[in-house]
Amino acid sequence: MSIADRLFQSKQDLSKKNLEEGATFLEANKANEGVVSLESGAQYLIINDAQGATPSATDKVTCHYHGTLINGTVFDSSVQRGQPATFPLNMVIKGWTEVLQLMSVGSKWRLFLPAHLAYGDRHVSAEIGPNSTLIFEVELLGIN
């Protein structure tokens, strides 16, 4: 087997492993108190609810967030950087676009996103492998 074939097989194995672990995690997680499951497969838990405005998919939003894998590995965090992020809501991963439209400004939610609502089968970083289920704690600070 060539090096390219071994690398391809390794990615395929990791992809399958991540899908299986993510499905197992999400299945167990939806039984946890307060977790809401959406038809898309996204799940969320309200940490702090507010009564502010809600964004539409075409709005720019400002958020603080902390992203981890299901094993707890941190892969990105505006909180750790001490700088909130601003971005068009329709230019981020599908799970964010979907769930943040349900949030009110001032709310803080924990999002549990299956791979198809995150980065799919792409291997996007050293931490985020193909078909990774992601967890984000998101505080919606404003709609710009």
Q: Is 112 known to be catalytic? A: no
pLDDT in tens, 96-112: 999 999 999 999 999 99
Q: Tell me if residue 44 is catalytic.
A: no
Q: Which amino acid makes up residue 133?
A: T
| Residue 11 exposure: Cα atoms within 13 Å on the Cβ side | 13
**In the chain, where the domains are located:** 3-143
Catalytic residue among 25, 44, 112, 119: 119
Per-residue pLDDT tens over the stretch 39-87: 999 999 999 999 989 999 999 999 999 999 999 999 999 999 999 999 9
Whole-angstrom Cα distance, residue 15 to residue 26? 16
| CATH 3.10.50.40 for domain 3-143 | yes
- Per the residue annotation, which of 65, 112, 128, 135 is the catalytic one? 65
Instruction: Give the integer Cα–Cα distance in Å for 83 and 80.
Output: 8
| Residues in Cβ contact with 63 at an 8 Å cutoff, skipping those fewer than 6 apart | 78, 84, 85, 86, 100, 138, 139, 140, 141
Which listed residue (46, 59, 70, 75) is catalytic?
A: 75
Express each pLDDT in 116-132 by its tens digit. 999 999 989 989 999 99
Specify whether 136 is catalytic: yes
